[in-house]
Chain A
C-alpha cells in the first residue's frame, strides 16, 4: 500500500467514523478491506482509493469507513461488567422506573454478541424483579453488514464456542442444517438492531437507562471521543449509567460523565452540567 493510500484511508476513517489509524496499523486496513477489494475486483487498495477519488460516491465512502471499524467481539466478553449490569445497575434503575420499563443501548454493537449476551443473561433472571421488567435492548453499529448479521443472530461454529457455555448455547440457540447456530425466538422480542453512526446525534433512538459502549471509545481520535461521549451522554436518562470496558480510559474526556463510585468501568450522567437533554 502506498503512503498516499494509507493517508487517504486514514483520513476517510477519521472523518466518517472518528477512528484513529497509526501508520503501523496499515495491515489492519488491508485485512478489513479485503472483502470489499475482492467483491469490487480491485487488485490493490491503491486501486480502491483511486476509485474513491475518481468516482465520488458517499454511500461507498460510508461502506469503506464502516468496514475499517473493528469487528472483534465475542459472547460474554466483559463478564464481570455484565454481572454488575444485571445485579446492580438495572435493578437500581428499575426501582426508579414508574412503569417497569427499561431501555438499554449497546452502542457499537458490531455483530451483536454483546446485545445477545445481555438478553441471555436477563433471561436467566428467573424470580428476580428484572424477570418481570419490560427491558428493551437496542444494538447499533455503523456497519450495515454487522447490523444485518446481528439481526439474523446466526453465528458460526467457532463464534458460538468462545464465551458461551454449552448450557447457554443449548438454551438460547437452535442449530441450523449448515452447522451454524441461530438465536432462539424467545430472545428476539427484547432485542432490535439499527444502523447508527456514533458521531451523529442520536435523538431518534430515544433516551436510555443504560448505555453499553465497550471497546469503541479507545479506538477513536480524541476529538471523536469527545463527540461520541457527548452524543451518548445526551441520550442517558438522569441517573442512568454508561458502561465502557474497564480497560478503557475515558475519565475526564467530557464533563458530562462522572465515574461511578460503585461500579468499575461505569459512568453516571452528571446532571449539574448544562446542555444535556435526553430525548
Chain B
C-alpha cells in the first residue's frame, strides 16, 4: 500500500482527510506542523503528502522547500490542502514544488479527483 502523510495543525482535518485517504487504499501517518513532517519524511519518505499552508513551528511552504532539498525529497507527490485560495498563493506553491492544490473546504470527491490528476489513484 502507498503511504500518505497528512500535515495539518487541525486534528479534525487530519482525521477527516485520513479517512478519505484510507478509503483510497493508502496507509496514513500524521504531522501537526512542517518540522514534525520533515522528521517523518527523513525516517520514512511517503508516496504522497497532503499539506496545509498555515501551521505553527514550520508552515507548509517552508516545509515543501526544505523537503525538496532532501536527498529523496523530490519523490513524494505533494498536494497542498489549504484555505489560501488566491492565484498568487497557488502559483507560489507550484513554484516551490507542489504537484497539486486543493482549496478548502474539500470533500472526498475533490481529494480523489486531485489524487487522480497526479497519478496517485
Contact assessment for B91 and A161 in the assembled complex, using a CB-CB cutoff below 8 Å: no
User: Considering the chains assembled together, what is the distance between the CA atoms of A163 and B113 in angstroms?
Assistant: 6
- Least Cβ–Cβ distance between A180 and chain B, in angstroms: 11
Contacts of A158 in B (CB 8 A): 107, 110
Is B101 engaged at the interface, CB distance under 8 Å to the other chain?
A: yes
The yes or no answer to A170 lying at the interface (CB within 8 A) is: yes
Judge whether B86 and A175 touch: CB under 8 Å: yes
How many residue pairs between the two chains, A and B, have CB atoms under 8 Å in the bound complex?
33
Which residues of chain B are within 8 angstroms of A165 by Cβ–Cβ distance? 100, 117
Q: Are A162 and B109 in contact (CB under 8 A)?
A: yes
Interface flag for B90 (CB, 8 Å) = yes
**Residues in A neighbouring B41, C-beta threshold 8 A:** none
Query: Which of A157, A166, A174, A175 is B100 in contact with, Cβ under 8 Å?
Result: A166
- Known contacts A166-B94, A170-B91; A161 and B102 CB within 8 A of each other: yes
Q: Which single residue of chain B is at the shortest CB-CB distance from A161?
A: B110
A137-178, CB < 8 A from B:
157-158, 161-163, 165-167, 170, 174-175
Tally of chain A residues near chain B (CB < 8 A): 12
- Which residues from A are CB-within-8-Å of B106? 161
For the complex formed, measure the closest distance between the CB of A170 and the CB atoms of chain B, giving whole angstroms.
6
Instruction: For the complex, give the distance between the alpha carbons of A163 and B115 in Å.
Output: 11
Q: Is B114 an interface residue (CB 8 A)?
A: yes
Smallest Cβ distance from A182 to chain B, in angstroms? 12
B105 → A minimal CB distance (Å): 8
Determine the chain A residues whose CB is within 8 A of the CB of B90 once the complex forms: 166, 170
B10 at the interface (CB under 8 A from A): no
Do B87 and A161 have beta carbons less than 8 Å apart? Answer: no
Which residues of chain B from 50 to 87 have any CB-CB distance to chain A below 8 Å in the complex?
85-87
B103 is an interface residue with CB less than 8 A from chain A: yes
User: Is the CB of A56 closer than 8 A to any CB of chain B?
Assistant: no
Quote the shortest CB–CB distance from B2 to chain A (angstroms).
20
Q: List 11 A-B contacts (CB under 8 A).
A: A157-B85, A157-B105, A161-B114, A162-B113, A165-B100, A165-B117, A166-B100, A166-B117, A170-B87, A170-B91, A175-B86
Chain B residues with a Cβ under 8 A of chain A? 85-87, 90-91, 94, 100-103, 105-107, 109-110, 113-114, 117
* Smallest CB-CB A-B distances: 10 pairs: A166-B101, A165-B117, A161-B110, A162-B113, A166-B100, A175-B87, A162-B109, A163-B113, A170-B90, A157-B103
